Structure 1
Amino acid sequence: MIEGGTWQATAVGEKGIRSYHLTDLTSLFSTMASVAHQYEAAATPEQKQAFYNTTLAQVYDAGTEVELSSSELQQRAEKIGPPYAANLLFISAGVDVQADRLEATFLGVHSDQTFSVLKLMGDTSRDAVWRQLDEAMGSTFKTTDGRTLPVQIQAIDSGFNADQVIKFVLAQRKKARSTYAVKGKEGFDRLPLAQGGRLKGQMRLLIVGSDAGKLAVQKALALQEIGPGYIRLPGHVDADYFEGLASEELRVKVIKGARRYAYHRTVKRNEPLDCLVS
């Protein structure tokens, strides 16, 4: 088809200079398979931009890759347990720490995903609210096939009130609960989870690749049909929670003269999204 075609100029430019705007699909030096492979290999927004620009000769906007509407997310919320689905494998918890509250998301993982949400109000520099979190982490989740599951693993954000985070994590470990202090770092070149330094010299810190994590969570939230990766949303939470899930979008920003994709917060509170990423 390509060999049988002809090139027709559609624009008038400077005399003696010819320019071409062509997709790699028209090249005799590439194949449909090689283009598909390049598409599948482009994992980060920067790599996808390079693919769209150089291979497809198109403009790429990462902000349109995943578009979430808080109202649409709320409309598909449903009543979730207890008891919970029989195919539930384990329960994890992600906790975000702010000055006046702790927010936790309990995520039940199986072929689909379900979760419940907890917001504990209180001064996080004091012990009272942390005692409430300790009690919540001792919760169990009953399934329809008669099993009772504990919270198997916890991730506690350490970006605020680190002393209290260390104290809580150590106390949880004494109760044989798998609990880790984590901190999110920007950059799509980061691993989803990696060893960091020591938090205040006392505890090993895990670094969460927050950009890749947010993109993965957003893609899961954008799924319309129940299946692998689909996140089922609980109906017992208020509208602010769904606004928090849809609170960030990818935008281009200039870092040290280079254009990079980074997440930009569109509403003030993004704790629901952070909890899922953790």
Structure 2
Amino acid sequence: MDALAEDRVKKVVCIKAAQVGWTEIINNTVGYYIDRDPASILVLQPTVHMAEQWSKKRLAPMLRDTPCLAGKVKDPKSRDSDNTIREKGFPGGYLAIVGANAPSDLASRPVRIVLADEVDRYPLSAGSEGDPLTLAAKRQTNYWNRKSLVGSTPVDKESSVVYREWLASDRRRFHVPCPDCGHEQHLKWAQVHWDKDERGEHRPETAMYACEECGSLWTDGQRWRAIAKGRWIAERPFAGVAGFHVPGFLSPWLTLQDIVEDFIASKSWPTKLKTWVNTVLGEPWEERGEASDPNQLRQRAEPYNDDNVPEAVRVITAGVDTQDDRLEVTFVGWGDGEEAWVLRHYVLPGVVGEPELWNKELDPLLKRTFTSETGHRLLCRAVCIDSGGHFGAMVHAFCRARPSRKIYATKGIGNDHRGSKPIWGNSLLRSKNSADRLWAVGVDSAKDDLAARLRILPKAGERAPRAVHFPLPDVLSVDYFEQLTAEHAVTEFNKDGRKVRRWKPKQEGARNEALDCFNLAQAAMLSLPIRLSKPSLIALPETTPERAEPEQKTAEPQAERVTAEPVRPIARPARVGRGRWNSYR
């Protein structure tokens, strides 16, 4: 706000974390120009709906309750009022509140002050007019004393508008002095440290900030006191644009424990980690390298096969991909922390349009029994079959005849500009026959997830949440790993001119059946009522004691309960009072 009031500053850019008071800065700026320096003001929100919500929920209460603004904007109920939801008149100027998706609103008036909120959520083009931010800037051409305020939580580095604008500024960062050595530094995630217990479990409550110069550890209180003594330092010469980076470390509402807990909960999930980087660090998301080289994956073979399933496997699911001349099936075992073991990949050649292949080849295969290292028999618990292609009717007929076996007809749904689709969305899609049930699978999200999984490299014989294990070399075909890594992520423009991130084959015509089958098997796992996503289930004690009573009992190991078939509970009101919660951590 101070920079915006300086005569030599024409534009202020802020790349920021979430919930750091940005909306109040916009509100205060509007209030300042209405009260002290009347001007034509344009507030630009991502959509018309968001513009109206800001007007009603944020602006109207400020105009009503701030004494110096009371009465300057007429009552919207008066007959000659020029006060509407998206138009506010006041002595000496007016306020227009528009959506970046409405080109007519952007091109219809000259304005001196432009306040652009959440610019990374803007469409790439306002209709056919072009970049909304550039259109708004063109409205200021006639004013020598024009001002612009641009801010947003960033999204993707490749397409981030606020990051582009910040790079063109003087790039100011907030430097704070070390309480011990006095060295000034801007706060970085790399300097946050915390402990682990003897079992290797994270202890976020021990998180502290380490000075990059002397190594002294700061508590939250010391960090906040240092922030109170800090100052902005620019990295580049000033040329009319003041840029500020505001990470969550500067927020008085976030403790280091909060930040570390969010990171631990997000670090193994690409979509959650992206949100954490954007909203906590205030930095744009940049993709790391894609899945491992197929030769490296082949070398990660472990001593197990589908007749000697690792003891850690709790459930088995399958994914089925349909091709013109064959069906392909992958069986995957799942353990605690959603750790995965690829068990076998089958190719069933035949006439896919005839029932014989489905009933005499696929159906018996899905009923096969797997044997664990300890001699337990395991069956496939759920199956997802891709209904895309030319044989959707055969897929629906096969699934319709087996309603009790959790065999689902699915259709892949890609991500779009509105965000990622869940791998298993628990949502039904329309099918030609209203009696058929068609389930959505977020294929781009599944491929993102698998790419992250393949980057996890557990040591031989060790467990690792969300890691993918591969069986003995002779179990999988020679080209299995080529198919598993056949695609890579690219950013492209959709029909609306928006940038979206999608997965495409690395080479034209490359086979990807192994990739599709694994993703379908994962969707089948997520469809089950059993939840394996908590890594803490890996290190459970063998027994959990009951509270001290004359005859002390022990609970069964949690791992055994996870393997049990989920059964609908029977209501017994008279016994409810005997229940209690057990803590496993």
TM-score calculated relative to the size of structure 2: 0.42
Contact 1:21–1:57 (Cα < 8 Å) also in 2: no
Aligned to 1:132: 361
Contact 2:329–2:345 (Cα < 8 Å) also in 1: yes
Name the amino acid aligned to 1:157: D
Q: Which protein shows a greater Rg?
A: 2
* Alignment deviations for residues 180-218 of structure 1 (CA, whole Å, 9 cap, x no partner): 111110124323322223432131111112222222222
The Cα of 1:159 is off from its aligned counterpart by: 0.6
Aligned to 1:97: 322
The Cα of 1:57 is off from its aligned counterpart by: 6.4
Name the amino acid aligned to 2:274: K
**Does the residue aligned with 1:183 lie in a helix, a strand or coil?**
strand
Q: Which moved more, 1:152-161 or 1:72-81?
A: 72-81
Aligned to 2:88: none
| Alpha-carbon distance in structure 2 between the residues aligned to 1:35 and 1:85 | 36
Contact 1:96–1:156 (Cα < 8 Å) also in 2: yes
Superposition CA RMSD, Å:
3.1
**Does the residue aligned with 1:214 lie in a helix, a strand or coil?**
helix
**Candidates 394, 414, 420, aligned match of 1:164:** 394
* Alignment deviations for residues 70-93 of structure 1 (CA, whole Å, 9 cap, x no partner): 111111023423222234322211
Q: Quick one: structure 1 residues 262 and 79, their matched pair in 2 at CA, closer, same or farther if it must change by over 3 Å?
A: same
The 5-angstrom pairing of residues 235-254 of structure 1 reads: 235=473, 236-254=475-493
Name the amino acid aligned to 2:470: L
Aligned to 1:219: 452
**Does the residue aligned with 1:149 lie in a helix, a strand or coil?**
strand
Q: Quick one: structure 1 residues 65 and 24, their matched pair in 2 at CA, closer, same or farther if it must change by over 3 Å?
A: farther
The 5-angstrom pairing of residues 179-194 of structure 1 reads: 179-187=407-415, 188-191=419-422, 192-194=424-426
| Alpha-carbon distance in structure 2 between the residues aligned to 1:51 and 1:11 | 24
The Cα of 1:122 is off from its aligned counterpart by: 2.4
Contact 1:25–1:32 (Cα < 8 Å) also in 2: no
- Structure 2 runs not aligned, ≥5 long: 1-176, 178-226, 521-585
Q: Quick one: structure 1 residues 242 and 101, their matched pair in 2 at CA, closer, same or farther if it must change by over 3 Å?
A: same
Identity %, equivalent residues: 26
* Alignment deviations for residues 87-142 of structure 1 (CA, whole Å, 9 cap, x no partner): 43222111011112211111112234222111112231223432311221121111
The Cα of 1:18 is off from its aligned counterpart by: 4.3
Aligned to 1:48: 274
Q: Determine which structure has greater relative contact order: mean sequence separation of CA pairs < 8 Å that are 6+ residues apart, divided by chain length.
A: 1
The 5-angstrom pairing of residues 60-209 of structure 1 reads: 60-62=285-287, 64=288, 66-81=290-305, 82-111=307-336, 112-114=339-341, 115-130=343-358, 131-160=360-389, 161-173=391-403, 176-187=404-415, 188-191=419-422, 192-201=424-433, 202-209=435-442
- The alignment of Structure 1 onto Structure 2 pairs a total of residues equal to 272
Q: Quick one: structure 1 residues 9 and 180, their matched pair in 2 at CA, closer, same or farther if it must change by over 3 Å?
A: closer
**Does the residue aligned with 1:203 lie in a helix, a strand or coil?**
coil
Contact 2:266–2:272 (Cα < 8 Å) also in 1: no
The 5-angstrom pairing of residues 246-265 of structure 1 reads: 246-255=485-494, 256-265=496-505
Q: Quick one: structure 1 residues 232 and 30, their matched pair in 2 at CA, closer, same or farther if it must change by over 3 Å?
A: same
Contact 2:330–2:514 (Cα < 8 Å) also in 1: yes
The Cα of 1:274 is off from its aligned counterpart by: 1.3
- Structure 1 runs not aligned, ≥5 long: none
Aligned to 2:516: 274
Name the amino acid aligned to 2:457: Q
| Alpha-carbon distance in structure 1 between the residues aligned to 2:450 and 2:271 | 15
TM-score calculated relative to the size of structure 1: 0.82
Name the amino acid aligned to 1:19: A
The Cα of 1:28 is off from its aligned counterpart by: 6.3
| Alpha-carbon distance in structure 2 between the residues aligned to 1:108 and 1:44 | 22
Q: Quick one: structure 1 residues 41 and 123, their matched pair in 2 at CA, closer, same or farther if it must change by over 3 Å?
A: same
**Does the residue aligned with 2:421 lie in a helix, a strand or coil?**
coil
**Does the residue aligned with 2:243 lie in a helix, a strand or coil?**
coil
| Alpha-carbon distance in structure 2 between the residues aligned to 1:21 and 1:65 | 29
The Cα of 1:12 is off from its aligned counterpart by: 3.7
| Alpha-carbon distance in structure 1 between the residues aligned to 2:393 and 2:249 | 60
| Alpha-carbon distance in structure 2 between the residues aligned to 1:89 and 1:240 | 28
**Does the residue aligned with 1:20 lie in a helix, a strand or coil?**
strand
* Alignment deviations for residues 216-254 of structure 1 (CA, whole Å, 9 cap, x no partner): 222222210132222211222234211221122222222
Q: Quick one: structure 1 residues 165 and 26, their matched pair in 2 at CA, closer, same or farther if it must change by over 3 Å?
A: closer
